[in-house]
Structure 1
């Protein structure tokens, strides 16, 4: 499934805030609507929001194709900064927009309508490349698993979080389809329940057997069930392989080390940030405490209760067995 798609000169997304109760496709008309969709998690997942930001830039520049070259490129920079500011942790937005800006600058002497059309082509190319990369990740990742494996995953790193196939969930679906995986345990992933709402929905669509668990069941499941691997996605990976991913990932990595379970991170190279040496430099997005005081728009405690909602945590590379990418498998402990 493609969570973002261009059709008949219009851009559409699946509104992920409504799943799994309602499957709704909405049109995004300009960069401001795209920025809002990214902020409110209507589109989410590091590769997906990189792709979304590229399309958002295209939408924002469309009214300027008959303006001046100066106005067009000024707006290109302004729109890019607005989109970059939507979510600070995932590096894919900055990566995608740099690629778009570099492409525009390389053809800046062409007529603006041609530059705009070429930028649209580049955005679609970014999405197509991501899907191809995810298929490569899936094959590399499945090779790491034993036969008849039972795995555990956290949050959502499937087609909804990428161009349309998935990183961690791509490995799991491919593993099931090729007979490597028998069963999946899915963390619900508080506070916004991406595991329960999105990963379970995707696995249902692909007929992959799974069991949904609350986050605080993970340790017990690792102790009492035969978990062969934990597979998660990533939002930013530092030069030393320290990895930022959905809040709760660090706890799973610590548990995996205790129970001697392989802990795999799956991500494309667009998620790597070679500009930061380690995870201490990764900015962690702090979201509204209302996300903790509410469960899927149902308030569970008074507004006066203090609450925090860091969207991500950072897992040190020492706890990561391997990072699976489209270029192969990297083992942090052996790379230093």
Structure 2
């Protein structure tokens, strides 16, 4: 575990806002459900605990649950004393927790494939090295994505973002959308961020605003339904959101409500961008509407902070994601640069 512990110490020294990390004998994970009023650290000693944390959204965000898959498989390796079959089984369990999150699936699949190829006698050492490589790549990707994305941010921009696509949704620097915003801010650009509260889980109000405050970035919280009007009166002149998955034709699958903002942006002539990674592009998915959207429990809509906010007999519906057609997207920001239409051909360059 020496390399992993050294990396963790370095990332702490660099003031990364890490969602999950390793200590000597266990994993530590910020319970994002308790933010911003309480920073509760969960101690994870079993893979089942981590799987429950992902499913219950104690940790969330495509990049964060992707690296949670790495940490979970590492935990299985340590617990089992380096048994290959236990590590692969742990990967399958973690992968099943959020079926729409392609980053988790791809990360686990790639590590499982690597595990299959490892020698039995040096499995623990070889798997540890590979896992550390993946964790470092995730952080480097966030910084590269931020560097490319900052090119589309102008001095004086007011930027709308939706849900939470930040440090706690990634490896600690800025995740996706906030990597772009944070890098532009660090470059000295005078920007202002409008973050949507993101009903029903309030990731924007609870976590995005929390991170923007931590980073010292000027921001204003709005309700989800306000974005169209603010665009119309000139308060917002750019939209940058994250992504849970991108289809091979460039359709965007992201937190429900994203499509609504894209419609308003198109109507008002405002550029709409998504920040993603090459790992989040699903080349097996021809178009976004072919996806099997995850539906969350009704309870998450009918209750707020554990309290019923409607009548007891009222039913609720919560599709966790929606689909934004590629023609509404001005550019897909990745660690390889900004991809523009025609997406079907341009995205294939990343695959190659």
Under a length normalisation based on structure 2, what TM-score does the superposition of the two structures give?
0.89
Question: Pick from 152, 157, 163: which aligns with 1:149?
Answer: 157
**Alignment-derived partner of residue 138 in structure 1:** 146
Deviations 1:172-225 (A, max 9, x none): 111122133421101000000000000000000011110000001111111123
Higher deviation after alignment, 96-105 or 54-63: 54-63
Q: Residue 210 in 1 paired to residue 219 in 2? A: yes
Question: Pick from 233, 242, 257: which aligns with 2:251?
Answer: 242
Under a length normalisation based on structure 1, what TM-score does the superposition of the two structures give?
0.93
Cα distance in structure 2, aligned partners of 1:74 and 1:129: 25
Question: Pick from 61, 79, 82: which aligns with 1:63?
Answer: 79
Cα distance in structure 2, aligned partners of 1:296 and 1:178: 38
Number of residue equivalences:
328
**Alignment-derived partner of residue 233 in structure 2:** 224
Cα distance in structure 1, aligned partners of 2:252 and 2:154: 24
Residue ranges of structure 2 left out of the alignment (5+ in a row): 1-16, 346-352
- Offset, 1:55: 1.2
- Offset, 1:89: 0.8
Which secondary structure does the structure 2 equivalent of 1:303 belong to? coil
Say whether the 8 Å CA contact 2:36–2:206 is kept in structure 1.
yes
Say whether the 8 Å CA contact 2:88–2:115 is kept in structure 1.
no
Question: Pick from 125, 135, 153: which aligns with 1:127?
Answer: 135
Question: Pick from 52, 58, 62: which aligns with 1:42?
Answer: 58
Cα distance in structure 2, aligned partners of 1:164 and 1:119: 23
Say whether the 8 Å CA contact 1:150–1:181 is kept in structure 2.
no
Say whether the 8 Å CA contact 1:229–1:262 is kept in structure 2.
yes
Higher deviation after alignment, 56-65 or 244-253: 56-65
Deviations 1:50-89 (A, max 9, x none): 11012112222333227xxxxx343333322221110111
Deviations 1:225-275 (A, max 9, x none): 342210000011111111110010010111110011000000111111111
- Offset, 1:106: 2.2
- Offset, 1:334: 6.0
Question: Pick from 70, 81, 85: which aligns with 1:74?
Answer: 85
- Offset, 1:335: 5.2
Cα distance in structure 1, aligned partners of 2:184 and 2:172: 17
Which secondary structure does the structure 1 equivalent of 2:43 belong to? strand
Q: Residue 331 in 1 paired to residue 340 in 2? A: yes
Alignment of 1:172-187 (within 5 A): 172-187=181-196
Residue ranges of structure 1 left out of the alignment (5+ in a row): 67-71
Cα distance in structure 2, aligned partners of 1:133 and 1:297: 37
Question: Pick from 61, 70, 87: which aligns with 2:98?
Answer: 87
Higher deviation after alignment, 220-229 or 28-37: 220-229
Say whether the 8 Å CA contact 2:54–2:65 is kept in structure 1.
yes
Higher deviation after alignment, 225-234 or 201-210: 225-234
Say whether the 8 Å CA contact 1:145–1:228 is kept in structure 2.
no
Deviations 1:63-119 (A, max 9, x none): 3227xxxxx343333322221110111101111111211221222x242xx422432
- Offset, 1:121: 3.3
Alignment of 1:84-123 (within 5 A): 84-107=95-118, 109-111=119-121, 114-123=122-131
Which secondary structure does the structure 2 equivalent of 1:139 belong to? helix
Note the aligned Cα RMSD (angstroms).
Answer: 1.6
- Offset, 1:125: 2.5
